[in-house]
Every structure is written in structure tokens, then in C-alpha cells.
Amino acid sequence: MALPPEPIEEVLPQAALVVEAEVESILSTGPAQPPVQAKPGATGAPGRDAPDQTVKLRVTKVHKGPAGLSELVVLKPVAGYALRAGNKGPFLLDDAKPHPVILGRYGPDTWNLGRVLEGLGAAR
């Protein structure tokens, strides 16, 4: 729906893991969302979300969570963004089982790394 990112202060407390990572592969993709009726060229129409994906992340740095993590399988929920191999950035993840869920409305594009580190610093 092209809503602005959530305030990071609201999301960080839910994050069990904060990592810098790159998408290594897409393991599976959920069903497509039903099409939405909207005027041609209209933006912001709800429901135009990409399906969920299960993805494998190659972790390059851990900012919050157990040190030594190098790989993670995580769930990208139905959202206004989609991932593909090679995408990278800061990932905030909850502690859901079996796979942590990516937090933030736009995944690794929700906040830049500087903003995430600033938020983490403020939270400590």
C-alpha cells in the first residue's frame, strides 16, 4: 500500500535478531494475492502485495542475537516488497518458529543501516 516505514522505535523491541545479510536463494514462494480493482495508473491500492517467500540469508554481521550466525532461513511475509537472490541490507527478525519473520514494512529497505544502528544504540 506504499505506506511509510513504521517508526523504528516501534519495531526494534520486537526484533530478536538484527543482522546484515544477503539473500542467497529463494526456497519457496506462497500463492499470489488476488488481483485488485483500481483505476489504471492508480498507486497505493491495498492488497497489491507480493506473496510470502521462504528465503535463505547469508549473514555477514550480527548486531543483535547470537554471534557466529552465518546462515538463516527466514520468512518474508505477504508484503509490498519481494526478495530475490542478491538483495542485501539490514534485516530485523523476530523469534518465530520454525522460521524467523522479517520485520519492517519493506524488509531490508525499511530503514538504512545507519538508522538501524542508531536505533539499536538508543535502545541499549
Which residues are near other proteins by CB under 8 A? Answer: 1-5, 32-33, 35-36, 38-46, 48-50, 80-84, 87-89, 106-109, 112
Contacts of 47 by beta carbon, 8 Å cutoff, 6+ apart: 33, 34, 36
**Which of 38/123 has CB closer to other proteins?**
38
Q: Which residues pair with 72 in a beta bridge?
A: 57
Written as nine digits, the cell of 113 is 543501516
**Which of 34/121 has CB closer to other proteins?**
34
Rounded distance, CA 56 to CA 10, Å?
A: 26
Task: Using the Cα atoms of residue 89, residue 6, residue 92 and residue 77 in order, give the sign of their dihedral.
Answer: negative
**Which of 66/103 has CB closer to other proteins?**
103
**Which of 88/95 has CB closer to other proteins?**
88
The nearest distance, CB 41 to other proteins, in angstroms, is 4
Q: In terms of residues, how long is the chain?
A: 124
Rounded distance, CA 106 to CA 56, Å?
A: 17
